[in-house]
């Protein structure tokens, strides 16, 4: 029966026990919350008057319960930036919380239009379309581009789950799927030459910065291949937006191939420190997505405070370029100190077995650092790892203390494949 099935399905799921363990240990999700008393947090959440009426600043986070989080995607530390918090609060006071309907029906405001313009400018594209999440953006793109079925999709084997699911939707509409070995452009070219049926439209889709390995897709190689084989190139820049490139435009900007990418998928939930997804593209592609991207058409628009916060975050990232430089400097320093190759602010430390990764993560937590263990099925068996996510909110001292805690784990980090791509923004 269902209860028995449920009990056996959840038995032994590590995430469940890890989550339970973390909650009492980490009173909140940010360093700011971690410095507040539990009574004050409860009061804020429940809308009562807290004992302390002002939010503490990051500088106040000195008490012993503070856990340094190396587990977030807040690469520029913008989620708690005062200007971002203020923008969200102002918008909430002015407009309330909900957009109250989908964008097409009535949920599209001038805030949404402004954010789309700001993202198009950031990405160097003609236009942009917002989505409820980055996951929804990938679902919508794959399904919309493949709606008539006459498409062959070539997808990197390590692409994000949202791309995998989007392509599964496309297959239900008759698209053919070919998976190429991770970043192996020779394999991709072989598939393009030998396995794409004549007359089929061709789409190549890849993450730009791979979230579990911290390496980059060879976007320059893909751009050259595109000139020879004439495919549509879709790049998911979830982790690279605002982090890479001289203006934070992403890995495409960093590698000088912005114009070779047809659709730039992104999320507001990582370096932007908010929530939401987007696709930056030409107006014609936007028209298609507005009509055929069901995950956008039939979903409620983003809340105005979130949109206002994202706009503020993009502005801060522009005005404070030190944030991008700082997070890259931290990444290079961590690599140097641990003797591991580092390509980006996502630093995987390969441990091997699930148990070793879990044990190391627990030991770090006891030392005051949250560094998650990433295990199968997210990564292949035998490659369980600690995943260090760096942020501009981390100080040099945070990094020094993390490094010594990592050394204290007594782990020998296994040789990690030399990541492709280029280190440096």
Query: Which residue, judged by CB position, is nearest to ligand PMP in the bound state?
Result: 134
Closer Cβ to ligand PMP, 267 or 344, answer by number: 267
The distance of closest approach from Cβ of residue 344 to ligand PMP in the complex, given in angstroms and rounded to an integer, is 12
Report yes or no: 142 and 153 within 8 Å, Cβ to Cβ. yes
Residues 312 and 291: their CA atoms lie apart, in Å, by: 29
What is the pairing mode between strands 369-370 and 68-69?
A: parallel
The distance of closest approach from Cβ of residue 266 to ligand PMP in the complex, given in angstroms and rounded to an integer, is 9
CA distances from 263 to 286, 360, 400 (A): 9, 39, 39
Closer Cβ to ligand PMP, 25 or 378, answer by number: 378
Q: Which residues form the interface with ligand PMP (CB under 6 A)?
A: 133-135, 138, 160, 162, 207, 211, 236, 238-239, 267, 269, 277
Closer Cβ to ligand PMP, 346 or 399, answer by number: 346
Q: Give residues with Cβ within 8 angstroms of 399, minimum separation 6.
A: 330, 333, 334, 390
Closer Cβ to ligand PMP, 160 or 286, answer by number: 160
Closer Cβ to ligand PMP, 218 or 236, answer by number: 236
Residues 399 and 330: their CA atoms lie apart, in Å, by: 7
The distance of closest approach from Cβ of residue 404 to ligand PMP in the complex, given in angstroms and rounded to an integer, is 29
The distance of closest approach from Cβ of residue 212 to ligand PMP in the complex, given in angstroms and rounded to an integer, is 9
**Phi and psi angles of residue 276, each rounded to the nearest 5 degrees, phi first:** 125, 165
The distance of closest approach from Cβ of residue 137 to ligand PMP in the complex, given in angstroms and rounded to an integer, is 7
The distance of closest approach from Cβ of residue 269 to ligand PMP in the complex, given in angstroms and rounded to an integer, is 4
Closer Cβ to ligand PMP, 27 or 166, answer by number: 166
The distance of closest approach from Cβ of residue 176 to ligand PMP in the complex, given in angstroms and rounded to an integer, is 23
Closer Cβ to ligand PMP, 40 or 210, answer by number: 210
The distance of closest approach from Cβ of residue 258 to ligand PMP in the complex, given in angstroms and rounded to an integer, is 18
Closer Cβ to ligand PMP, 137 or 331, answer by number: 137
Closer Cβ to ligand PMP, 68 or 160, answer by number: 160
The distance of closest approach from Cβ of residue 290 to ligand PMP in the complex, given in angstroms and rounded to an integer, is 19
Residues 310 and 123: their CA atoms lie apart, in Å, by: 15
């Amino acid at each position: 029966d269902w209860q028995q099935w449920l009990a056996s399905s959840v038995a032994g799921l590590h995430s469940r026990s890890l989550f339970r363990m973390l909650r009492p240990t980490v009173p909140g999700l940010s360093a700011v919350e971690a410095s507040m008393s539990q009574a004050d947090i409860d009061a804020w959440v429940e809308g009562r008057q807290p004992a302390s009426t002002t939010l503490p600043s990051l500088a106040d986070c000195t008490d012993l319960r503070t856990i340094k989080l190396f587990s977030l995607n807040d690469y520029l530390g913008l989620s708690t930036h005062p200007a971002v918090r203020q923008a969200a609060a102002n918008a909430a006071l002015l407009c309330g919380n909900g957009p109250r309907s989908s964008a097409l029906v009535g949920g599209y405001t001038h805030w949404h239009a402004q954010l789309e313009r700001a993202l198009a400018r950031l990405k160097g594209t003609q236009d942009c379309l917002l989505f409820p999440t980055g996951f929804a953006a990938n679902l919508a793109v794959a399904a919309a581009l493949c709606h008539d079925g006459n498409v062959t999709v070539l997808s990197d084997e390590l692409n994000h789950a949202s791309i995998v699911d989007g392509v599964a939707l496309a297959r239900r509409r008759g698209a053919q799927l070919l998976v190429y070995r991770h970043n192996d452009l020779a394999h991709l070219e072989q598939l393009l030459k030998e396995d794409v049926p004549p007359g089929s439209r061709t789409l190549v889709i890849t993450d730009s910065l791979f979230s579990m390995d911290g390496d980059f897709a060879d976007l320059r190689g893909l751009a050259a291949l595109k000139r020879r084989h004439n495919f549509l190139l879709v790049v998911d820049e979830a982790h690279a937006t605002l982090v890479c490139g001289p203006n934070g435009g992403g890995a495409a900007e960093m590698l000088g191939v912005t114009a070779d990418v047809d659709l730039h998928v992104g999320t507001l939930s990582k370096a932007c420190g908010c929530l939401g997804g987007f696709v930056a593209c030409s107006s014609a592609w936007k028209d298609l997505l507005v009509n055929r991207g069901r995950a956008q058409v039939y979903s409620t628009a983003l809340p105005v405070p979130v949109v206002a916060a994202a706009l503020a975050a993009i502005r801060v990232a522009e005005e404070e370029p030190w944030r991008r430089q700082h997070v890259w400097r931290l990444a290079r320093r961590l690599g140097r100190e641990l003797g591991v190759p580092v390509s980006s602010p996502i630093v995987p430390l390969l441990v091997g077995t699930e148990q070793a990764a879990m044990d190391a993560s627990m030991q770090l937590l006891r030392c005051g650092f949250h560094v998650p263990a990433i295990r199968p099925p997210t990564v292949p068996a035998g490659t369980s790892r600690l995943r260090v996510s760096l942020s501009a909110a981390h100080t040099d001292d945070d990094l020094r203390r993390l490094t010594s805690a990592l050394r204290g784990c007594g782990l020998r980090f296994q040789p990690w494949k030399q990541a492709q791509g280029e280190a440096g923004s």
